A and B are shown apart, each in its own frame.
Chain A
């Protein structure tokens, strides 16, 4: 079972920041927070991951609380193409570990 809790859906206006929350209160010390997204029925796409420090890449920023029990994925300027299901997953950062997908958050970016 997924170890994370996410709201089932969110809306965001195009051009605004999308802030997607995730609760992972039972996260272990060696587990990272990963974010993936799935656009329509395409294959899941890796976005970003982190352990305890905030992370930023060309797609998004990841803010992890100091106690690591929750995190927020930030899409700074959402576009219509960011409409997708976003999954927050916790797992060790080791080769070969499976991904356990929950229900995710369905983000709808509106014009």
Chain B
């Protein structure tokens, strides 16, 4: 069964450093998403991406965040200057764009620890 994959599984970085989280969505999906979950809190939507542009973003997704689909398979989330409060699990998801249903398939997540 096709699945969303994410790398790395755990990333440790120092405050102020840039990090890139990588995702490989399901191959015939064209809508991509990033969510995050701070330890003990709810899963929060960050951004959705379609046709090489952001289609929706939350208030959390400020100027320090960016997303990119650099090639035909990867989807990345970049945090330019990490803060302690960016420590969280980051989940990538993908979904179909036509023909329904439009459930989102999630990857296993990347645990980001900012020290």
Contact = CB atoms under 8 A, between A and B. Distances in A.
Q: Are A and B interaction partners?
A: yes
Interface of A: 34, 38, 41-46, 49, 87, 93-103
Main secondary structure of the interface of A (DSSP, over half): loop
Q: Name the 7 nearest CB pairs between A and B, nearest first.
A: A43-B106, A101-B43, A98-B45, A46-B103, A95-B97, A43-B91, A44-B106
17 contacts: A34-B103, A41-B37, A41-B89, A43-B91, A43-B106, A44-B93, A93-B100, A93-B102, A94-B102, A95-B31, A95-B98, A96-B50, A96-B56, A97-B102, A98-B45, A98-B56, A101-B42
B56 A43 contact: no
A103 B109 contact: no
A59 to B, nearest CB: 12
Contacts of B101: 49, 93
A99 B45 contact: yes
Contacts of B25: none
Given A46-B103, A95-B98, A100-B45, 10 more contacts: A41-B37, A43-B91, A43-B106, A45-B106, A95-B31, A95-B95, A96-B102, A98-B56, A99-B35, A99-B43
Most buried by A among B58, B89, B97, B101: B101
Contacts of A38: 43
Interface in B20-60: 31, 33, 35, 37, 42-45, 48, 50, 55-56, 58
Main secondary structure of the interface of B (DSSP, over half): strand
A96 B96 CA distance: 9
Contacts of A45: 106
Contacts of B43: 38, 44, 87, 99, 101
